[in-house]
Structure 1
Amino acid sequence: MPLARSLSVTSLSGLEEWDEEFDLEDAVLFEIAWEVANKVGGIYTVIQTKARLTAEEWGENYFLVGPYVESNVRTQVELIEPTNPVLKRTIDQMNASGCKIYFGRWLIEGSPYVVLIDVGFTAWSLDRWKRELWEHCGIGVPWFDREANDAVLFGFLTAWLLGEYAAQSEESPHIVAHFHEWLAGLGLVLCRQRQLPIATIFTTHATLLGRYLCAGSVDFYNNLAQVYIKFTDIITPNGLNVKKFSAMHEFQNLHAQSKSRIQEFVRGHFYGHLDFNLDKCLFLFIAGRYEFSNKGADVFLEALARLNYLLRVNHSDVTVIAFFIMPARTNNFNVETLKGQAVRKQLWDTAQTVKERFGKKLYESLLVGQLPDVSKMLDKEDFTIMKRAIFATQRQSQPPVCTHNMLEDSSDPILSCVRRIGLFNSSSDRVKIIFHPEFLSSTSPLLPMDYEEFVRGCHLGVFPSYYEPWGYTPAECTVMGIPSISTNLSGFGCFMEEHIADPSAYGIYILDRRYKGVDESCNQLTSFLFQFCKQSRRQRIIQRNRTERLSDLLDWRYLGRFYIAARHMALAKAFPDTFIYEPEETASTAGFRYPRPASVPPSPALSRHSSPHHSEAEDNEEDERYDEELEAEKDRVNIRQPYTMPVKNKVSAVLGANGDGEGDVNGDENGDGDEVTSEKN
């Protein structure tokens, strides 16, 4: 059987081979989400990066279903005729009945087929479908909620598509329908209500209930058992398509290039107050949707205030610049911020002008065979130009905290907290704050960098989230070799804590927000930041190498097997005569277990020297011999235990509900039987 038609995963080094294998010749997979070829949030990243692996497994029988958005289709989708005869008859029949369905290839890795539904074209059926939803399912939908109305239209059209496909098939196909989030979940409800012979999977990536309960300072996690209506069956971690560099130093070079661009922005932003050494400046950042407490911005700001105190009392020469990349309501760029970048460019032009004049005089002096008289190399005009440039850099006000004009400056949570802790970018502060209330773009006149370039240029990502079902931001940092701070309340943090013996040695710091209060968590975060500031440049380079080494653990080649297991469960429950799924029972999740790095001492490092005298190696760290390739190979080989597929009971599923998504695998053929649930770690 061709590899693309066999449901199996080949393990990489250190992992067991998965023995389960299903014949998928007669199986069809429809993956339904509102963010198919339509970027709204993190679900788009999940589906886009996972598409290549899924397309390799299912081949021509894998179809993504999403909304038709013309602006996105023009740049992301190649419209073609359906290659599947059953699907072609299905689309033709629906188009003849008053729908508008498009078929094409999504122009991403894997080039998966997409079925795009124009929900606006069938808006005339909205009232009728809302009434049907209330009469048959008891679900009421607000009349003037645009998002809910789109979900109703999309759900009914998706259920229509699946039912029509089953009806158009000459033989009874094994259909798997995988629904992502509530915007697509109505189709699953209708499939069950109509008793379609379909294996269904539902994945939730986050919930509004969870967001509001956590933001409302409710003791959410201790009362989670009372909130859960149903438990999940399997945790499905989110992965990324990891592209490894041929040489380990390449991503370090990218870090240096991006860091220099951030330094240029800092030179302009802090003009007139640039009294710190940029070579001893660390760039920290937090990014994501603007949820002040859920994303941990409150804890981060408090920890920065305490870090500033520690750096000052210890007379540290390290300066920390913390970036907050969170979109908020603004009306324009801050004039003072734009002026800073203009002054920086003017200074650069002035320096280039003086350099050319200096170089020309030096050249003329050398031509006649004389050493130049340094006192005559710069004339009065040169000094006048330089003095004007210096006077232009002087200003009385402090460098701005926010790069934009906020519409709600007085009530903004970040700015209000900055006023409380008193970090106003003064010269005496060792911690500076820059709030960029807009997503990064390479076309920005202020900080012309896209998000990936910016992350590569920073030294540490800080994500002390209180509600973070998975957390792509620290995962992206890991893949790019940038250390990060996460929490044991995030799916990513729990996953890394479970699969790495010593996460901090690899640059993955796990903040305890589950069993510690806010003040204790702030102190722990402050300790992490202060210890990071005390690292030498060479220590940070070694740590980045270790962090990048973990990228294999986040590759879809590993994590895709959890989705495969979910489809196994759904097929086995919907079609028990054809598919059998009996995973081994395990007490806990076993996985790709990284040990402590071989280059890390086996006992905690002491804060004092082991002898009263310094050695030459201690005085000159750069002379110490360190073979990073050899150390990396030791860490890869020394895997503590093989990988097995986890099966959690209901209690552990509740306690471990930190994943990016939770999936219901509804396997009853008649739509009213047992349900299997799954959860993302």
Structure 2
Amino acid sequence: MPLARSLSMTSLNGLPQWEDEDLPVEDLLLFEVSWEVTNKVGGIYTVIQTKAKTTADEWGENYFLIGPYFEHNVKTQVEVCDPPNPAVKKAMDTMKSQGCQVFFGRWLIEGSPYVLLFDIGSAAWNLDRWKGEFWDVSNIGIPFHDREANDAVIFGSLTAWFLKELSSQFDGKPHIIAHFHEWQAGVGLILSRSQKLPVATIFTTHATLLGRYLCAASIDFYNNLDQFDIDKEAGERQIYHRYCMERASVHCAHVFTTVSQITAVEAEHMLKRNPDVVTPNGLNIKKFSAMHEFQNLHSMYKARIQEFIRGHFYGHLDFSLEKTLFFFIAGRYEFSNKGADMFLEALSRLNFLLRVHKTDVTVVVFFIMPAKTNNFNVETLKGQAVRKQLWDTAQSVKEKFGKKLYNALLK
């Protein structure tokens, strides 16, 4: 077998040809596999969550999400129930009978899609055996100290095991499609192909693994895409095994997709395969199809932001909120990778121009980036408390005065 980074969709043939050009949804089962199903790590969680309703509406009872089980997430995000599909239930029961904990329910988000969650910890005793099996089919070795990669092997092995138990129950229809997101889920794809399971596979990268590392190192990435020694760069960052997992997943997938044209160019150089389809991330514009509804929401939330600003800058509110612009930047706490450096530079230039033109416009900026917080700003909390007390007092006076005025006018 060729090296893992050279595996392609032709090197692991075994998927039967589907004769129908337009297969009805009733004859299909779609499984979307990601480490971020019910488990918020980064932006992929939001991508999956926001498109779940549309997918669930189109696929109905034949759409399932597969992810890792974490008790604290399930308690707040999942309503546990029995699988509606008997084949899915039988596959789960088989895995449970062999010591694996598998959970099923509805994800409590818009669309309420079905989720199938594997308890990684309950299956960890298989890790050494599964790492050996993964080595046998891919020649990719996983270091014992890389917990994230080890978890990916367990998660992928459980996913492939489930798909095997499920597909073995069918003779032809329904056809199974498995859509894998990012390298953490890729092991399941590689094993499914190596076992020649009758499953059509899709792999989506939202940004290449090595690309993330290179960008974080403040390297002029996009202008030097064709200059990098990929193996050397991955090795120096001690992520060569992860890179191999990602690249093998890309080349084993029947269909490879990315989420933007620039990521497609990145994948061509980093992963050595052109995407078959580009599926851009976007907004569900139908949600705000009624303009008056959008305007009402905008007005309501702007008022909330203004109330927060009044409390936050209590005692120093020397600017007009009606002439204030609110800017936001959100993402992982990565200074250059998420554009915070460019954002700050742009704000500096904007501040200079506002001062030169002596404008009375004020700009308030929100940086929304999750990070470890050690304490609270006591003065800010005190300001919010005073603001609320003033508001409550004003409302009380308003109500009392309003009643007296109303009664006086009636006389």
Give the shorter-chain TM-score range. Answer: 0.7 to 0.9
Distance 1:251 1:44 in 2: 25
Match of residue 297 from structure 2: 254
**Aligned-partner SS, 1:40:** coil
Match of residue 222 from structure 1: 223
Distance 1:263 1:243 in 2: 28
For 1:127, the aligned partner's letter is D
C-alpha contact 1:89 1:168 (8 A) present in aligned 2: no
Match of residue 212 from structure 1: 213
Q: Deviations over 1:39-74 (max 9, x none)?
A: 333222222332333334434333222222233333
Q: Of 302, 309, 317, which residue of structure 2 is paired with 1:266?
A: 309
Q: Deviations over 1:480-502 (max 9, x none)?
A: xxxxxxxxxxxxxxxxxxxxxxx
C-alpha contact 2:42 2:332 (8 A) present in aligned 1: no
Q: What's the offset of the Cα at 1:321?
A: 1.3
For 2:272, the aligned partner's letter is K
Distance 1:198 1:264 in 2: 53
**In the alignment, structure 1 residue 280 sits paired with structure 2 residue 342:** no
Match of residue 181 from structure 1: 182
Distance 2:403 2:85 in 1: 72
**Equivalenced residues, count:** 348
Identity %: 71
**Aligned-partner SS, 1:31:** strand
Q: What's the offset of the Cα at 1:113?
A: 2.9
Match of residue 149 from structure 2: 148
Distance 1:359 1:160 in 2: 70
Q: 1:26 to 1:291 in 2, by over 3 A?
A: same
**Aligned-partner SS, 1:81:** coil
**Aligned-partner SS, 2:94:** helix
More helix by share: 2
Q: What's the offset of the Cα at 1:239?
A: 3.8
Q: What's the offset of the Cα at 1:276?
A: 1.6
C-alpha contact 1:50 1:239 (8 A) present in aligned 2: no
Distance 1:74 1:339 in 2: 33
Q: What's the offset of the Cα at 1:258?
A: 1.8
Distance 1:156 1:84 in 2: 22
Q: 1:356 to 1:115 in 2, by over 3 A?
A: closer
For 2:364, the aligned partner's letter is I
Match of residue 29 from structure 2: 28
For 1:129, the aligned partner's letter is W
C-alpha contact 1:180 1:204 (8 A) present in aligned 2: yes
For 1:322, the aligned partner's letter is V
Distance 1:300 1:197 in 2: 48
C-alpha contact 2:28 2:173 (8 A) present in aligned 1: no
Match of residue 363 from structure 2: 320
Q: 1:319 to 1:127 in 2, by over 3 A?
A: same
**Aligned-partner SS, 1:201:** strand
Match of residue 169 from structure 1: 170
Q: What's the offset of the Cα at 1:298?
A: 1.6
**In the alignment, structure 1 residue 72 sits paired with structure 2 residue 73:** yes
TM-score normalised by L of structure 2:
0.75
User: What is the correspondence of 1:574-593 to structure 2 with a 5 Å cutoff?
Assistant: none
Q: What's the offset of the Cα at 1:171?
A: 4.1
Distance 1:321 1:341 in 2: 17
Q: What's the offset of the Cα at 1:331?
A: 1.1
For 2:103, the aligned partner's letter is Y
Q: 1:60 to 1:319 in 2, by over 3 A?
A: closer
Q: Of 291, 294, 315, which residue of structure 1 is paired with 2:337?
A: 294
Match of residue 16 from structure 2: none
Q: What's the offset of the Cα at 1:242?
A: 4.2
For 1:228, the aligned partner's letter is M
Q: Deviations over 1:534-569 (max 9, x none)?
A: xxxxxxxxxxxxxxxxxxxxxxxxxxxxxxxxxxxx
Q: Deviations over 1:138-194 (max 9, x none)?
A: 212232333222211111111111112222324475322211111111111112222
Distance 2:155 2:205 in 1: 17
Match of residue 386 from structure 2: 343
Q: 1:35 to 1:277 in 2, by over 3 A?
A: same
For 1:132, the aligned partner's letter is E
**Aligned-partner SS, 1:324:** strand
User: What is the correspondence of 1:437-586 to structure 2 with a 5 Å cutoff?
Assistant: none
**In the alignment, structure 1 residue 132 sits paired with structure 2 residue 175:** no
Match of residue 330 from structure 1: 373
Q: Of 290, 306, 322, which residue of structure 1 is paired with 2:349?
A: 306
Q: What's the offset of the Cα at 1:204?
A: 1.3
C-alpha contact 2:39 2:68 (8 A) present in aligned 1: yes
User: What is the correspondence of 1:371-410 to structure 2 with a 5 Å cutoff?
Assistant: none
Distance 2:87 2:314 in 1: 66
**RMSD between aligned alpha carbons?**
3.0
Distance 1:354 1:49 in 2: 44
Bigger-Rg structure (1/2): 1
Distance 2:300 2:25 in 1: 47
Q: 1:159 to 1:244 in 2, by over 3 A?
A: closer
**In the alignment, structure 1 residue 53 sits paired with structure 2 residue 54:** yes
Unaligned runs of 5+ in 1: 1-19, 370-681
Q: 1:31 to 1:362 in 2, by over 3 A?
A: closer
**Aligned-partner SS, 1:255:** helix
Q: What's the offset of the Cα at 1:359?
A: 7.8
Q: What's the offset of the Cα at 1:244?
A: 4.0
Distance 2:365 2:101 in 1: 49
Distance 2:60 2:394 in 1: 60
C-alpha contact 2:104 2:114 (8 A) present in aligned 1: yes
Q: 1:261 to 1:208 in 2, by over 3 A?
A: same
Q: Deviations over 1:469-519 (max 9, x none)?
A: xxxxxxxxxxxxxxxxxxxxxxxxxxxxxxxxxxxxxxxxxxxxxxxxxxx
Q: What's the offset of the Cα at 1:116?
A: 1.9
**Aligned-partner SS, 1:332:** coil
C-alpha contact 2:80 2:106 (8 A) present in aligned 1: yes
Q: 1:88 to 1:332 in 2, by over 3 A?
A: same
Q: Deviations over 1:392-451 (max 9, x none)?
A: xxxxxxxxxxxxxxxxxxxxxxxxxxxxxxxxxxxxxxxxxxxxxxxxxxxxxxxxxxxx
User: What is the correspondence of 1:238-249 to structure 2 with a 5 Å cutoff?
Assistant: 238-244=281-287, 247-249=290-292
Q: 1:203 to 1:357 in 2, by over 3 A?
A: closer
**In the alignment, structure 1 residue 235 sits paired with structure 2 residue 236:** no
Q: What's the offset of the Cα at 1:207?
A: 3.1
**Aligned-partner SS, 1:331:** coil
Q: What's the offset of the Cα at 1:285?
A: 1.6
Q: What's the offset of the Cα at 1:266?
A: 1.8
Distance 2:347 2:289 in 1: 37
User: What is the correspondence of 1:644-655 to structure 2 with a 5 Å cutoff?
Assistant: none
Q: Deviations over 1:317-340 (max 9, x none)?
A: 111112222223321111222232
C-alpha contact 1:50 1:240 (8 A) present in aligned 2: no
Q: What's the offset of the Cα at 1:303?
A: 2.1
Distance 2:23 2:43 in 1: 30
For 2:187, the aligned partner's letter is L
Q: 1:162 to 1:355 in 2, by over 3 A?
A: closer
Match of residue 160 from structure 2: 159
Q: 1:37 to 1:253 in 2, by over 3 A?
A: same
